[in-house]
Amino acid sequence: MFDLLLQGFSVALTGTNLMLVVIGCFLGTVIGMLPGIGPINAIAILFPIVLQFELPASSALIFFAGIFYGSQYGNSISSILLNVPGTSSSAVTCIDGNPLAKQGKAGPALAMSAVASFSGGTLSIFLLVIFAPYLSKLAIDFGPSEYFVLMVCAFTALTSFSQGSILKAMFSALLGLAIATVGIDELSFGGMRRFTFGIGELADGIDFIVVVIGVFAVGELFLFLSESASNAKQTIVPLNRVFLTLKEIKDAIAGILRSCVTGFVVGVLPGAGATIASFLAYNTEKKMAGSEGKFGKGDLRGVAAPESANNSSAVGSFIPLMVLGVPGSETTAVMLAALITLGVTPGPTMLTDQPDMFWGVAASMFVGNLVLIFLNLPLVRLLAKILLVPRWILMPLVAVLSIVGVYVINGSEFDLVLMLIFGVVGFIMRKTGFPLAPLILGLVLGNLIEVNFRRALTYSYGDYSTFYSSPITIGLWIITFASIIAPYIISYIKKRMREKSENSGTQVTKTEGI
């Protein structure tokens, strides 16, 4: 394993890949700071450019990985200084980060965020290197029926854990599956066309990048145009010392380690993601601190825990992506589609058939975390000024990049029309509370679910018991049903805790009155 990791460093430290790591980390930091753009939009918009430069698949994945975990760093800057989380996973950082900034401790809060992110990200890479080969050996036993149930498990988990109504999440997922069926049915005799409605341009299906750029980037642009408050000027809290004392580091180090493990485990589970990891880590540290903590009022440990967890979760999500070929989040779903477009199908044989890619990406994460710590601490004052750029300047730039990115894929004006249509769909879904993650997952996994389902039935001569006849499929079905029930259990626990806190608050008020 050590030899393979050294081989990975030989890949990551080549001139091109090292440059891509630095550029990816810098872009990720800036993108993470700017609310409304996010790593998904960035990867979707930049993917056509990657195709034009004909980058190898390993270099493209190293670049996208840098953007992904770099954005986790950038999220904390806007959360602490503006109380505006770039993504839902950084919302937890606002709870203590912004109160610290209002107390004149924005510098230490940002420094703690950088240190916790670096520590969580680096330690989780060791866990990735240790556990991925063992999971890969297990995954070699997967056949079409096991893969079908695995896809259903990932699909159900991500849908169930989506924010808001589960019915809305299921509708989004079904919409993604429906889009995936458009085009030629490759498994049918003679290649029958499906749902093309006589439109020749739809014979090859709907390009994934067109859908992603439309739903996310163009949908975000329409949302911006519909909100008059978007033109409001931002004001940031002035920065003081951007370093930590030994006592501050000592107080937070245990929580950083615990949150790293929590984030990694949650990141490996399809559908859970960085948001759940951040909340779990924060609540754990809040309980560990007890009455001694100032959580919610400005506690550096309240910044360290979620930042360590969400970076560790980002690294952990690469295990299901590369070892199982299953995305655990929206961002890794976009990466999976990009890899498939580049001719690479991630799965259990990646570690043996394409070790340079897996170990090169793992080694690049070590390099990327070093780049980010040296980038964030010295340049945080300069990076913070980017937050002052108004969104009415940024959004036209996003629009131009979206149009150019979609057009260069196939040189088709029809793709631009589809992009606008999906932009309207994305806008309506945002305004009505339909989550976008299940749609993207349905689009990515739709073909894989159908192909493995039909192959499993072909191999078993139409016997449906093949989907629950092996220990692996039974275990995956148990996880699937558990993921459906889990949101209701979590909601019930949250409701009971809220009622308990309200009752205790009422009792305190009555006592004070007496």
Q: What is the pLDDT of residues 356-398, one digit of tens each?
A: 888 888 888 888 888 888 877 777 667 666 666 676 777 787 7
Sequence ranges of the domains in the chain: 2-456
Contact 299, 289 (CB under 8 A): yes
- pLDDT score of 85: 63
d(CA 113, CA 288): 19
Listed range (225-239, 349-363, 397-411) with the worst mean pLDDT: 225-239
For residue 9, name the pLDDT band (cuts at 50, 70, 90).
confident
d(CA 392, CA 237): 22
Listed range (63-72, 83-92, 99-108, 334-343) with the worst mean pLDDT: 83-92
% of the chain residues with pLDDT over 90: 1
The secondary structure of 120-138 as a DSSP string is HHHHHHHHHHHHHHHHHHH
- pLDDT score of 163: 56
Contact 427, 219 (CB under 8 A): yes
Give which of 14, 28, 23, 25 is closest to 56, Cα–Cα: 14
| pTM (2 d.p.) | 0.68
- pLDDT score of 210: 83
Exposure b/e, 331-362, CB count within 10 A at least 16 = b: bbbbbbbbbbbbebebbbebbeebeebbbbbb
Q: Is pLDDT larger for residue 3 or for residue 512?
A: 3
Contact 301, 251 (CB under 8 A): yes
Q: Going by C-beta distance under 8 Å and a sequence separation of 6 or more, which residues neighbour residue 235?
A: none
Give which of 184, 183, 181, 177 is closest to 151, Cα–Cα: 177
Coil, strand or helix at 347: coil
- pLDDT score of 458: 86
What single letter denotes the amino acid at residue 411? G
In degrees rounded to 5, what are phi and psi of residue 354? -135, 60
Q: What is the mean pLDDT of residues 251-280?
A: 77
Q: What is the mean pLDDT of residues 212-222?
A: 80
Q: Which helix (H) or strand (E) holds 184?
A: strand 183-185
Contact 401, 41 (CB under 8 A): no
Q: What is the mean pLDDT of residues 70-80?
A: 78
141: pLDDT strictly greater than 80: no
- pLDDT score of 229: 46
d(CA 425, CA 214): 8
Residues 47-66: pLDDT tens digits? 888 877 888 888 888 898 88
Q: How many other C-beta atoms are found inside a 10 Å radius of the C-beta of residue 416?
A: 15
Coil, strand or helix at 294: coil
In degrees rounded to 5, what are phi and psi of residue 194? -130, 130
Q: Is pLDDT larger for residue 270 or for residue 500?
A: 500
Q: Is pLDDT larger for residue 160 or for residue 142?
A: 142
Contact 319, 125 (CB under 8 A): no
- pLDDT score of 240: 62
Contact 12, 125 (CB under 8 A): no
Give which of 116, 161, 127, 163 is closest to 309, Cα–Cα: 116
d(CA 356, CA 58): 8
Residues 401-456: pLDDT tens digits? 778 777 776 778 888 888 899 989 989 988 888 877 678 777 877 777 888 888 88
DSSP code at position 111:
H
Q: Is pLDDT larger for residue 109 or for residue 392?
A: 109
Best-predicted range by mean pLDDT (178-182, 218-222, 276-280): 178-182
d(CA 305, CA 309): 6
d(CA 25, CA 41): 15
Best-predicted range by mean pLDDT (75-79, 342-346, 351-355, 452-456): 452-456
Coil, strand or helix at 183: strand
d(CA 69, CA 62): 11
Tokens at 6, concatenated: 């050294």
